[in-house]
Amino acid sequence: MKPSNIQDFKDVKLIPENGSVVIIDDQPGEALPIVKALSKKGIATTYYQGNIKEDLPIYPIQCIRLLFLDLQIIETNDEHQIAKSIVNVLLKIISKQNGPYLLVIWSKKFNTYAAAVKQEIYQHDHLIPACIVNFDKAACLESKRILAIESDLFLEKLNEQLEGQLHADDIEIVQSAVTIALNEEFKTEYEAKTDAVDIIEKQLKSELEKAGAFHLFVIWENIVKRASSTMVYEVSSLIKNDEHWEVNTKNVLKRMGIARVGQTKVSMDILIKESINTLNTSLVDTVENEMKSENVPGHITLDDNIISINKIDEINYILKEHPAEYEIFKGNELVCKAADKEKLRKAILNKDNKIASQDKENSVNLLVSYEILPASLNTKLHIELNPSQELIPGNIYFNEEEKKKEQYLGTFMKKIDGNLSEYYLIDLEVSPICDYAQQKWKRSRTLPGVMCPTMYFGHKKSGKNFYEVEPTFNIDGIEYNFMFDYHIFHVKDKSDAKAKKVIYRLKRELLLDIIAQLSSHVNRPGISFIQ
């Protein structure tokens, strides 16, 4: 059974639940009621006044998905100063690795300053929000006027001080005058309406319908948070929650680490990391189970005939996909259309058409940026481009046989186009992951391969001894295919492998598929045919 607060999180779908909500408002009295209202829903929120530099983080390290921003955080009417002060605060709290976020501007002066603020924000690519919402903060707040001091207590003390010094009638006159003055000494306090979070979500919903892709990321991050909370609960609740919980739980985690590495004589650092990796393995299944029960909002759709837009000098170049053709527009003006992307490219570059040279260049660049996206995504999913130098399965090294490159390339290619320098001979570390986890490596096992520019990969050889990596990868702006040959699988000393520089690392999913195919190739029995 899950803890009740985990289940309650399912009621909140539009607001991030992982502590990625930030409020910037120079008036704490107006911001804190909203913080409290969100807290009642289990939504962690970070608050900054904005005008106090000492309160801002030294480095922008927090993940932010939803940011509530009051525009006037400094006392001035100069819109440019206001815009610059806001951007300076945003640069302090939003890192370049933050990713998309939703900006909610709640200010009565939205129409006065929003344009200048937006223009300043758009000078910094990582600050550009996925969506901007104009929201009336007052819709969530109730105000009440209260005396700045307690009048009855004040009059009682005043009477004590005046007694014996003034005639009783004079004291009454003083008290009357003070009472009138006190009645003018009011201050305004705010509290959140009981449905404040519902009001916020209702406003966000209308805007998130325009930002479905962003909303999907929010949903996924919420699911991962719930799944990790579930995992912690399910494992920790196996141990009786008493004064001995810490000791008993440490032993359970230790046993999880030992089970993964297969032995007890390992360093504490490895044991701790492998115990956590045991949780990681189960987390994937838990995330998938959470996703099955998630109700994706009906307004989210991934269908759109506009598949890519490049903004160049304030002009949008738009690529559209239809069942039977592709089109490129410059704003609302059709530049070119064709049955498929390759024909579209040729039509654009055709010297007989009347397309301006700059529009040709921008249109081709739009096609290129769209076509390289799958390779870029595959790289993110399957390759570490900046790996550690640890000896671990999945490591990719450059092959030392550079002098014999042409000879070795003949193993993989029927024909070599381009320059030899465009191809790379590589070795993939395919020692079993269990051997790595259990520290049982005796020798390093590597699988030779080639990293070939996709434009030349049509000349590859074929056969059951080859493993052709299906996805292409974008490395340093060039699209590559990887291919390995099981016939030349070999081993070397671990010390030799450790001495080599790791250039890339294949991630687990792709590596396991290559190892599985290698095992099948090594174990094939073979059949004798008589003809």
| Cβ atoms of 521 and 463 closer than 8 Å | no
> Residue range 76-102: average pLDDT?
91
How far apart are the C-alpha atoms of 110 and 119, rounded to whole Å?
14
For the chain, helix, strand, coil in percent to 5 are 45, 20, 35
- In this prediction the pTM is 0.76
Query: Does residue 284 surpass a pLDDT of 80?
Result: yes
Residue 193 has a pLDDT of 76
Q: Between these two residues, 225 and 211, which has the higher pLDDT value? A: 225
Q: Between these two residues, 209 and 76, which has the higher pLDDT value? A: 76
Residue 435 has a pLDDT of 63
What letter would DSSP give residue 390?
A: -
Residue 523 has a pLDDT of 59
Instruction: At 429, list the tokens.
Output: 């570390």
Residue 197 has a pLDDT of 78
> Residue range 371-386: average pLDDT?
93
Query: Does residue 434 surpass a pLDDT of 70?
Result: no
Residue 215 has a pLDDT of 86
Domains of the chain: 4-140+193-211 (3.40.50.2300), 149-184 (no CATH), 215-292 (no CATH), 306-371 (no CATH), 384-522 (no CATH)
Write the DSSP string, 89-119: HHHHH--TT----EEEE--TTHHHHHHHHHH
Q: How far apart are the first and last CA of the chain?
A: 65
Across 67-81, 134-148, 330-344, 384-398, least confident range: 134-148
Where residue 190 falls among pLDDT bands split at 50, 70, 90?
Answer: low
Phi and psi dihedrals of 307, rounded to 5? Answer: -110, -15
Q: What is the 3-state secondary structure (H, E, C) of 204-263?
A: HHHHHCCCHHHHHHHHHHHHHHHHHHHHHHHHHCCCCCCCCHHHHHHHHHHHHHHHHHCC
Distances (CA, A) of 469 to 285, 451, 481, 486: 26, 10, 7, 13
Task: Kindly tell me the number of DSSP H helices and DSSP E strands found in the chain.
Answer: 17, 20
Residue 8 has a pLDDT of 38
> Residue range 317-332: average pLDDT?
94
Residue 397 has a pLDDT of 93
Residue 133 has a pLDDT of 84
How far apart are the C-alpha atoms of 46 and 268, rounded to whole Å?
35
> Residue range 14-35: average pLDDT?
83
Q: Between these two residues, 286 and 109, which has the higher pLDDT value? A: 286
> What is the per-residue pLDDT across 222-262, written as a single tens digit (0 to 9) for each?
899 989 999 999 999 999 999 999 999 999 998 888 887 77
Residue 186 has a pLDDT of 56
Query: Does residue 150 surpass a pLDDT of 70?
Result: no
The DSSP element (H or E) to which 152 belongs, if any, is helix 151-162
Q: Between these two residues, 165 and 460, which has the higher pLDDT value? A: 460
Q: Between these two residues, 525 and 263, which has the higher pLDDT value? A: 263
The DSSP element (H or E) to which 448 belongs, if any, is strand 443-453
| Cβ atoms of 66 and 20 closer than 8 Å | yes
Residue 428 has a pLDDT of 94
Spell out the residues 6+ positions from residue 57 whose beta carbon is closer than 8 angstroms to its own: 92, 93
Residue 508 has a pLDDT of 87
> Residue range 277-302: average pLDDT?
85
Residue 87 has a pLDDT of 93
Across 192-206, 419-433, 441-455, least confident range: 192-206
Residue 123 has a pLDDT of 92
Instruction: At 41, list the tokens.
Output: 């829903």
Residue 4 has a pLDDT of 40
Query: Does residue 496 surpass a pLDDT of 50?
Result: yes
Q: Between these two residues, 64 and 152, which has the higher pLDDT value? A: 64
Phi and psi dihedrals of 17, rounded to 5? Answer: -105, 5
| Cβ atoms of 110 and 134 closer than 8 Å | yes
> What is the per-residue pLDDT across 303-316, written as a single tens digit (0 to 9) for each?
889 999 999 988 99
Instruction: At 158, list the tokens.
Output: 């005043």
Instruction: At 37, list the tokens.
Output: 């209202």
**Percent of the chain surpassing pLDDT 90:** 37
**Percent of the chain surpassing pLDDT 70:** 85
- Beta-carbon count within 10 A of 142 CB: 13
Write the DSSP string, 468-521: E-SS-EEETTEEEEEEEEGGG-EEEEHHHHHHSPP-EEE-HHHHHHHHHHHHHH
> What is the per-residue pLDDT across 166-177, written as a single tens digit (0 to 9) for each?
676 677 777 677
Please state, rounded to an integer, the average pLDDT across all residues of the chain.
83
